[in-house]
Amino acid sequence: MTAASKRTVLVVDDDPDISAFVQEALCDEGYEVLTGVGDAALMLAQTAQPHFILLDLMMPQMSGTEISRRLRNEPRTAHIPIVVMSAQLPQTAPPDLHCDGWLAKPFTLTQLYAIVGRWTAATARHSR
């Protein structure tokens, strides 16, 4: 992957071990990876304009549902695909959860690479 085609992923998870695992795995595949939680993640999304967001659902200070709502209500971030990571996936998404997909925890590297690749490729096609 060349620098010009490098895709940026924002990982929003309050567990530093999960954030570090995902960051290392995706960096090894040539992605630029940013991490943050709460308001810091919202600011990163606005300033960095990542191609894709992996969002933990269960976080203590600001839930994934609240972050997804704020991202979708902000014109600068409303277009960014969001995939929720969670060990507790509901049968149907709550109406106030604004996401494009799910990644069940625990997940394999194959699952992670597939979902990130799919969404960053879709974003690349739409940004041409």
Whole-model pTM: value is 0.89
Which ranges constitute the DSSP H helices of 11-104?
16-28, 38-48, 64-73
Longest dimension (CA), the chain: 39
Cα dihedral sign, 42-48-51-56: negative
Rg (CA), the chain: 13
Tokens of 62: 């600001």
pLDDT digits (tens, 9 = 90+) for 93-127: 566 678 888 898 899 999 999 999 998 887 665 55
pLDDT band, very low/low/confident/very high, at 92 (cuts 50, 70, 90): low
